[in-house]
Amino acid sequence: MMRVLGVDPGLTRCGIGVVDALGGRRARLVHAGVLRSDSDAPLDQRLLTIARGLREVLEEHGPDSVAVERVFSQNNISTVMGTAQVSGITLLEAAERGIPVAMHTPSEVKAAVTGSGRADKKQVQTMLVKLLGLDAAPQPADASDAVAIALTQLWRGPGPVARDRTGGARTSAQAVWARAEREARRARERSTSRQ
């Protein structure tokens, strides 16, 4: 079984989501939450608070890999800086433990979870409920985002190498993803042919 820690980096609220692979496109939610830092505290103390929280999560849940949302340009430079700093802390904490790390863009995460890179947060949360068999999406939204990042890594991230039909290398997650896409395409074609 593979366990992934997803991190939605933020300086005030850092989303955390831990999921276990159950085979195929099935997964189980292990933990979801948010690490918080006081916006009135000095920057070094805020980063220390987040780092301590990340250490606790890494030690408690022992993930096999860590997935982080890739920082992208926003209008608010201070938000980008805080997000980048927390991403750096996450990368460092994982590296110190020898845990592989992957980074995924927001559109990659949306596409992996909903099938559309343009999905909104509500659509992502609705799919998390369905995919993980939950009564409700993890709250707050930062926690849901982190769970979605972890699922993206499970389904699209690196893993043991398999071979595709052409003999090219493919990770096991990519093989599962390709199989699911083929099945969905066949279902759409069957639905279209019945109309």
As a whole number of angstroms, the distance between CA 105 and CA 9 comes to 12
Whether 142 is catalytic is yes
At which residue do the structure tokens 């991190």 appear? 7
In the residue annotation, 8 being an active-site residue is answered as yes
Of 20, 38, 60, 69, which residue is the catalytic one?
A: 69
Q: Is 8 annotated as a binding residue?
A: yes
Catalytic residue flag (residue 69): yes
The reply, when asked if residue 142 is annotated as ligand binding, is yes
Which one of 8, 20, 93, 145 is the catalytic residue?
8
Residue 154 CB-half CA count within 13 A: 29
Nearest residue to 63 (alpha-carbon basis) of 129, 195, 153, 183: 153
* Bridge partners of residue 181, in order along the sequence: none
- Tally of CB atoms within 10 A around 120: 11
Q: Are 34 and 16 in contact (CB under 8 A)?
A: yes
108 annotated among ligand-binding-site residues: no
* Range list of H helices, 21-167: 43-61, 77-96, 106-114, 121-132, 141-156
Catalytic residue among 20, 93, 142, 145: 142
The catalytic site residues sit at 8, 69, 142
The binding site for Mg(2+) comprises: 8, 69, 142
Summarize the annotated binding site as residue ranges: 8, 69, 142
